[in-house]
Amino acid sequence: MWEALRAFFAPPITGDPEEVTTKLIWLVRLRWVAIAAQVFSILPALQFQLLEPSLIPVFIGVILALAGWNGFTWLSLKRGWKPTPAPILVQLCADIAALSTLLILSGGAWNPLVPILFVHSVLGAILLPWTRGLLFFGLLLLCVIGIQLYAQIPPGLEGLQVPELILFPAQFLVALTFWILTAWLSSTLTAFRSHLFDARERKTRIDRLRAVGALAAGLSHEFATPLNTAQLKLARLARSNNLADNEDLNTAREELDRCAEVLHHMAGSQLQPDRLSLEISELNRLVGRVCHSIENENPEVPIRVRVEGRPPYRVLIPSVAFSQGLINLIDNAIQSSHGQAPVDVVVSGDLTHVNLTVSDRGEGWPTMVKNHLGEPFVTTKSDGVGLGLYYVHSLSEAIGAELHLEDRESGGACARISLPRAITLEKSLNGAEGSRSRTEN
């Protein structure tokens, strides 16, 4: 029984903040409770002279109209109606219109049950987006004014009214306070829920990437021994039989060397699971260090690094794994330019995202690479493996980023990684550290 009651009153908290059907079901259930409360209030209202007997037919008629409206909504939902966000506002407006009419018939703003009207400011802040919530709050204030102007004062309240100049500002402040606090709490909870959902998605991606890394490392280890044995046997066969110039034997050795290179890439540091620990890093500094290191190894190819906008650009990334991904992109750019043109690396950003762009002056992205982005072993290079770009794409998905392949208008290829900026997370961490330090002091 208690479980059924808890399920009946469970708030509309779902993984999707735009789940209109869940919100509407919850509102219909609350309305049934309110309708029942209004029915049971008739006898006490008559006993304490808060409702004149001549107004009972109108009072009951309003309750029946609201019950009919609620029943129609309930049946529509049962039949599979998929409402849009707009009906939530319509439903709440019907509630405050019916409740205001009942209050007007039983003392208006001086009715002891008038705080029930203010509860709808809470419901509006919870169930409606900001713009519709503000519109609903304005309509609620009109209802508050209406129950003062058109109130039917019953005998039980005669001579007990608070002056309107005092009552209306007080009720206005109560409704406004309820709405502001609830709207703030609702937006905060929605943001937290969104962050939690993103964190879970990121964790799922990282777990998948780690599984791929563990699988690749295991396969590389299992194939390494027989592959090395085959290479040694072929080399010994060539020496013992003077077959160093044999074309078939050389082809077999080249293919074995290619297999060894593929296994080396699969088992390399870029796919090791222990390199995927997330930390907040300044991307502009990390990119600068990686590019400086590559320039030291390839001094003949200039790498031009440019930071646009207003750094620092802080992002939540696995620094070692991300550095390897950047190295892969720059290596691709150097190969595409044949080592004869500079490679441009640009870090830019806005309030929510940071972009890392690596551009070359080669022939642009091959159509096959674009169409098969995210698939391993896709390459148009005769000596390529097809794992470098696949790794960058997999890592981007794992950390909630996006990889885009574009062609430059002036010629060449452009790879852009768009990452979510870690401003919100950093502020939360700083706030937590500040609170902890104040507690320790």
Residue ranges per structural domain of the chain: 2-161, 270-441
Q: Which of 3-12, 87-96, 116-125 has the highest mean pLDDT?
A: 87-96
The answer to which of 16-25, 136-145, 261-270, 369-378 has the lowest mean pLDDT is 261-270
- pLDDT tens sequence across 122-171: 888 888 888 888 899 999 999 999 998 888 888 887 777 778 778 888 88
CB 43 within 8 Å of CB 82 = no
CB 377 within 8 Å of CB 358 = no
Exposed/middle/buried for 390, CB within 10 Å: 0-12, 13-18, 19+?
buried
Examine the pLDDT at 274 and tell me if it is beyond 60.
no
For the chain, the residue count is: 441
Q: Give the per-residue pLDDT at 97.
A: 94
Q: How far apart are CA 397 and CA 420, in angstroms?
A: 12
The arithmetic mean of pLDDT across residues 302-327, rounded, is 88
Sequence letter at residue 63: I
Q: Give the per-residue pLDDT at 65.
A: 95
Examine the pLDDT at 439 and tell me if it is beyond 50.
no
For residue 402, give the 3-state DSSP assignment. Answer: strand
The arithmetic mean of pLDDT across residues 5-26, rounded, is 61
Secondary-structure class of domain 270-441 per CATH? alpha beta
For residue 145, give the 3-state DSSP assignment. Answer: helix
Q: How far apart are CA 220 and CA 113, in angstroms?
A: 74
Residue 209: pLDDT band (50, 70, 90) is: low
Q: How far apart are CA 107 and CA 264, in angstroms?
A: 84
Query: For the whole model, what pTM was predicted?
Result: 0.49
DSSP notation for 298-344: -TTS-EEEEE-SS---EEEE-HHHHHHHHHHHHHHHHHHTTTSS-EE
Q: Give the per-residue pLDDT at 126.
A: 83
Examine the pLDDT at 437 and tell me if it is beyond 60.
no
The arithmetic mean of pLDDT across residues 59-84, rounded, is 91
Which of 220, 235, 231, 223 minimizes the C-alpha distance to 257?
A: 231
- pLDDT tens sequence across 338-367: 767 889 999 999 888 999 999 998 888 888
Q: Give the per-residue pLDDT at 263.
A: 61
The arithmetic mean of pLDDT across residues 244-248, rounded, is 79
Examine the pLDDT at 390 and tell me if it is beyond 70.
yes
Residue 206: pLDDT band (50, 70, 90) is: low
Q: Give the per-residue pLDDT at 215.
A: 56
* More confident call, 285 vs 21: 285
Tokens of 440: 């320790």
CB 387 within 8 Å of CB 395 = no
Examine the pLDDT at 90 and tell me if it is beyond 70.
yes
**Contacts (Cβ under 8 Å, ≥6 apart) of 276:** 206, 209, 210, 213, 318, 321, 398
Rounded to 5°, angle at Cα 199 from 179 and 202: 145
Please report, for residues 97, 219, 261, the alpha-carbon distance to residue 387 in angstroms, rounded to integers and kept in the order given: 64, 15, 11
Sequence letter at residue 405: L
Locus of tokens 């966000």? 85
Residue 364 φ then ψ, to 5°: 95, 175
Residue 434: pLDDT band (50, 70, 90) is: very low
> What is the overall mean pLDDT for the chain?
80
CB 177 within 8 Å of CB 373 = no
Examine the pLDDT at 41 and tell me if it is beyond 60.
yes
Please report, for residues 210, 212, 215, 321, 351, the alpha-carbon distance to residue 390 in angstroms, rounded to integers and kept in the order given: 14, 12, 16, 13, 29
Tokens of 207: 């777990």
Neighbours of 216 (CB within 10 A): 20
The answer to which of 16-30, 93-107, 256-270, 327-341 has the lowest mean pLDDT is 256-270
Residue 14: pLDDT band (50, 70, 90) is: very low
Q: How far apart are CA 231 and CA 433, in angstroms?
A: 57
Q: Give the per-residue pLDDT at 211.
A: 62
For residue 373, give the 3-state DSSP assignment. Answer: coil
Examine the pLDDT at 332 and tell me if it is beyond 90.
no
Q: Give the per-residue pLDDT at 2.
A: 57
The distance from CA 253 to its chain's CA centroid, rounded to whole angstroms, is 50
- Partnered with residue 402 across adjacent β-strands are 418
Q: How far apart are CA 42 and CA 160, in angstroms?
A: 21
Examine the pLDDT at 248 and tell me if it is beyond 70.
yes
The arithmetic mean of pLDDT across residues 158-186, rounded, is 82
Looking at residue 161, what DSSP letter applies?
P
Q: Give the per-residue pLDDT at 10.
A: 54
Examine the pLDDT at 48 and tell me if it is beyond 60.
yes
